Structures are given as C-alpha cells and as structure tokens.
Structure 1
Amino acid sequence: MKTFRFVAGAAAVCVLIALLVANTCMFVVHERDQVVVTRLNKPVHVIVGDRAPEQFEPLKTEILHAARRTGEGAEKLKISMGAGIYFKAPFADTVERFPDVLMTYGVEEEAVVLADKKTLVVDNFARWRIENPLLFRISVRTITGANGALDDVIYSAVREELGRNDLTEVIRTTNKHVGTDVPATTDAPEDLEALNTMSDEITLGREKIMNSVTKRANDRTLTQYGIRVVDVRIRRADLLPENFQAVFGRMSAERSRISRGYRSEGQKQAEIIMGGTDRQVQVIRANAEREAAMMRGEADAEAIRIFAEAFSSNPELYSFVRSLEVLEESTPPGTEAILSADSGLFRLLKEGAARAD
C-alpha cells in the first residue's frame, strides 16, 4: 500500500514537472498574433502571420535586413510563419506578441493649404497592420507608439499631396456634373458654353489623390517602422469660414447658368410643340371642311334625285304640295287671304277639297 502511494505521488510530481517544463519550453501562436522571441533582449525567432509564399519570401528578406541594420544578430535569427505550437529556451527566452489584424487610426483634424490658396480642415483616418514585427518592435514597440508615428507620417503625406491640388481636385472624383445634363439640342450657345465651362475639369480627383497619400505614407512607414498602411481616406473636409462666401458665390453662379440653359431649352421646345399643334389643327380643320362639303354635295344630289322621282311619278301631287309650301312660306300664321275665283291657288284648293269628299 505504501509502495502504491509512493508511486502515485512520484507520478504526480513527474506530471507537474513535465507541465512546468512544457510551459517554459513551449508556447502557442494564435492566428491573430505575430511573435518575436528574444533571448537576453536579442531576437532569436520571429513568427509572422499566414502569408502567401510569394509574400513570405520578400518579408523574410526585409526582416533579416532590419536585423542586420540594427545589429540584432541576423545570422542566428530564425523566421517562421503561421499559427501553431513553438519551442523556446526555458527561462532564457521571452515571447513578445503583436497583433496580426487590420487596425484603424483616426488622425487628428489638421488645416491644409491647397494649391489654390484655400485652407481645408481635413479629418482623415488610416487602416494599417504590422508587416514586419521585428522592425516594429525595434522602432515603436507598442500600438501607442505606432499611432504617434502614423500621425506624423500621414499628416505629412496628406499636406504634401493635397497641397499640390486645388479644391476641385480634392472634393471631386469624376468630371460628371450632377444636375447639368442639359440636352444636346439646346439652342442657346452662350448658356451652353457657360454650362460646359462652369466647373474645372479634374485630372486626378480625390480617389487618386488619396491613393497617392496612401503610397507615400506606406513607403515611409514600411521601411522605418515595419507598418503597412493599407488605406488613407478623408472622413470629413470643411472650409474655413472666410472661404464659405466665395464658394457659395461660385455655386450660385453655376446654378444660375444651369437654370438659364434649362429655360432656353424649355422655350425652344415650347415653340416647337406650339408650331406643330397649330399645323395639326389646320390639317384637321381642312380635312373636316372637305368631308363636310362632300357630304353636303351628296345630300343635295340625293334630295334632287328624290324630288325628281316624286315629280315624275305624280306631277299633280307634287304641284299641289309645292303650292302649299309656297302658300305657307308667303303667309305668316294668322294671316287672312282673299282669293279670287279664277285664282290658280283657289282652284287648286277647291279641287283638293272635292277630291277629299
């Protein structure tokens, strides 16, 4: 029994010793980490995050170059890639971890003088990551130190690139003028010329300018701090109060030129529509009058034909009816007429009455 207890206790002690040794000899690198292992404050092992093979080899060269440049013992430096379990010398090696993620830094608002002498208050931000953990450790060591370095580098790049361009280049990304698509048929040369020249054509635009800012900043941070600047963008840009009135006046003049172009085009289209409508009315009226004349002629011809047939079939009846019509037309209602006995009309009435009896 005592022997069993002794063996169990010894096994437990061995397990504890093994765990302690494993804890001091091994460490885990996570997918979101990069590691620099130092021995007596000298780097001996650099572990970077996952990279494509064509990206890892140039990075490996840059890390070795940084080690040689700073005298950190490049000959004995080991460089690995990817997450996993790694070994280190117990008690002698120290593991320093750095994030392998994309980080965002908001640069402080700064006033920038543009090429056209306008002052723009720019609020921008940058997205960055640690590309070379060894150089990062040597130069800035911490995220706070990196933010301070980025602030200087990015502001310098923004000031230089924006200072080469005027306000139109900085705020616009395309030569398309919103709301100025006046039809090509506009018959107002002066207004069209004003519309076509109302805004300066850009050669770069904000997108290309900020790409240049990103490249300029990245070239400096990558070689000095091991930081890759992925993107620099303007969050907000404001003019100083003294520039507002000048810009507002220019915008008002541009809108006035646009409105004149639209009014001119509207008047032209109205005249075209009115002229076409008048022509259509004249054509419709002429066609209607022609058809009416044809219908009246046909009706008169039909009436003549009917009268002719009636006269030829019963001349006496026709003569009697015509006499009555003449009498009705010649004597208003209530008129008393005296007819002589030898009057043709009296004779006709007398004969008609006799026939009725």
Structure 2
Amino acid sequence: MRKLMIPVLVVALALMLMSMFVIPEGERGIVIRFGRVLTDDNQVSRIYEPGLHFKMPLFDRVKTLDARIQTMDGRGDRFVTSEKKDVIINTYVKWKIEDFRQYYLATGGGNALTAQALLERKVTDVLRSEIGAREIKQIVSGPRNNDVLPDSADSEEVTTEAARQALEIDGERDKIMVNVLKDTRESAMKDLGVRVVDFRIKKINLPDEISESIYRRMRAERESVARKHRSQGREKAEVIRAQAELEVATLLAEADKTARVTRGGADAKAAAIYSSAYSKDPEFFSFLRSLSAYKTSFSDKSDILVLDPKSEFFRYMNDMNGAPVK
C-alpha cells in the first residue's frame, strides 16, 4: 500500500502542476479545449486576467495574447492621386486586441505577424481610396485654422513642393486620417477582433524621378527670379552711376568756373599792381625786365646767340643809363 502511494502522489502533484498556469502582466489568456476556445454559460469567451489560474490538465491548452497597445509602423507605399501623380506615404497604426477569441481564430492561432499583415492590408486599401479621390496639394496640407486631431502624435514631415501652397488651400490631410481611422476601426473589429486606437500619416514624399523634375523646375524659377533681380540691380546701378557722373561733372564745372573767376581776379590785381609799379618808375621796370631776359638767355653756356650788338636787347649793356644805341 505504501508503495502505491508514492506514484499516486507523484501523479497527483503532476496533474496539479499541469492544471495551474500563470498569466503575466500586460497579457490575457484564453483556454483551448479540443481546438475550441472555452466560453462561459453566455457563450462569451473566457478571458483570464494576469495572475494564477487553473485548467483541466491534458485536455486544455493555454494561449497568452498581448493585451497592450501595439504599434504597426508601416513601410512607405506608393499611392496615386486624382491627378494621376504618384506619392509615397509612410503611416503608423496604434492597435490592441479587443476580442481575443475572434483575434485567435482570424490570425491562425494568435500570430501577431499575421494580424499586422491583415491590418496593414485593410489600412492600405482604405488609404488608397482616400488618396485617389484628392489632389496632391490637398493631401499634403492641413486645415487653415490649424485644427488638430485628438490624441495627436508627433508632427508630420512633408517634403513636397505642394507644401509651399499649404497656406493658400484648404488641406484635407487630417480628414483623410479621420476617415481611414473610422473605416479601418469598423472592419478590423469585425474581422480581426482588434480595435484601431490611432492612425497617422508620418511622411509624404514624391518618387525620386518626380522630385528631381520638381527640383529642376524650382531651380529654373529661382534662376529666373535671380536674373530679374540682377537685371533690376544693373538698371539701378546705371541710374546711380549716371547721377553720380552728373554730380561730378556739375561739381567740376562749378569748380572750374570758380577757379577761372578767382584766377581772372588775381590776374587783374597782378596787372593793376604791375601797371601801378610801371607807372611809378617805367625806366626801372624796363631795367628789371632786361636783367631777367639776360639771366634767362645766358643761363646755359652752350647756347649761342647771333644778335646785333646795337639791337634793343643789349640796350643796358651798352649804356648803363639805357640810352638807345645809335
């Protein structure tokens, strides 16, 4: 009897341990029995909160699912606008499991990658419909009254030329996000058992080939504006230069006029002085002029003068009184 008790105790202990399970914090558990999710008397799935719980050993299998809000950071995808222009849009979605039974069945056993793939497909389909009904300038621009959505996340980055016209148009970017959130939330809850908490457009880009053509057009426009400014600058420079030259010519003319008037007055005064001096002693004045002429004529020894000794030039050399030579 004692020998049978030990195996019985071991089996009982093993069954007890097999019947116990723990749900970690932040997760929820469902019990699968014969491939079906256990429900209560009201046919509602039994959801096990974090803590210690019990199940039927050997027949029940526990599946734990993440009950926290999860983020699906979508890769950039290409969409076509109503103008038949391509845009590349990056988005992200915040979601959490609401109906654990539906989620388990729809994702093939609670596979998170399958859930994200299905949810991403739903978001992309709705977003493609919204983008296809709008022009690019409406997509990249927000409302002019700067309204924001509730539970707004980080600011979006827009790197397209149409962003320059955002202040001139009524943008519908926020409206697109609201519509996508609403439509996706309904279908995701129905089909996947998840609740879409938030949807945001992170970034809107143009394809490289389109961006390059836009940059070339922008560069040509800036070069045209630069040429216009340079032409206007040259025109103003010519006007300023002409005005400066006119002012210089006017100043020079006035200065020359003043100089001539001053010089004329000085010459008149000098002539008056000479005339006054000459009238006081004409003979002495004539003598000084002759001496100055001698000094100038005989300053260079190599000069040769061929003159008549009795000429008027040698008047004071022949006679100290300056009498005319006969």
TM-score bin (small chain): 0.5 to 0.7
More displaced stretch, 163-172 vs 251-260: 251-260
1:185 aligned residue: none
Q: Which residue, out of 128, 131, 137, partners 1:162?
A: 131
1:294 aligns with 2:258: yes
Name stretches of at least 5 consecutive residues in structure 2 with no aligned partner. Answer: 1-8, 141-159
**Higher CA-based Rg:** 2
* Contact persistence 1:35–1:98 (CA under 8 A): yes
1:96 aligned residue: 64
CA shift digits 1:278-320 (9 cap, x unpaired): 1111102321332344345445655665776687599566544
CA shift digits 1:13-42 (9 cap, x unpaired): 9xxx7xx97996573634xx3323548633
Length-normalised TM-score, structure 1: 0.54
Cα 1:261/1:235, change in 2 over 3 Å? closer
Cα RMSD between the aligned structures? 5.2
Q: How many residues align?
A: 272
Shift of 1:264: 3.9
Cα 1:294/1:236, change in 2 over 3 Å? closer
Cα 1:122/1:307, change in 2 over 3 Å? closer
Separation of aligned partners in 2, 1:308 and 1:37: 132
2:113 aligned residue: 144
Name stretches of at least 5 consecutive residues in structure 1 with no aligned partner. Answer: 1-12, 45-67, 178-200
| Matched-pair identity in % | 10
Write the letter of the residue equivalent to 2:38.
K
* Contact persistence 2:137–2:171 (CA under 8 A): no
2:151 aligned residue: none
Structure 1 or 2: more helix by fraction = 1
Separation of aligned partners in 1, 2:188 and 2:138: 28
1:36 aligns with 2:29: yes
Separation of aligned partners in 2, 1:275 and 1:155: 62
1:337 aligns with 2:307: yes
1:220 aligns with 2:220: no
Separation of aligned partners in 1, 2:246 and 2:318: 54
Length-normalised TM-score, structure 2: 0.58
* Contact persistence 1:221–1:227 (CA under 8 A): no
Cα 1:262/1:349, change in 2 over 3 Å? farther
Q: Which residue, out of 22, 25, 37, partners 1:27?
A: 22
1:72 aligned residue: 44
2:239 aligned residue: 275
Shift of 1:274: 0.3
Runs of 4+ off more than 6 Å: 20-24, 77-80, 250-255, 306-311, 326-331
Separation of aligned partners in 1, 2:185 and 2:97: 12
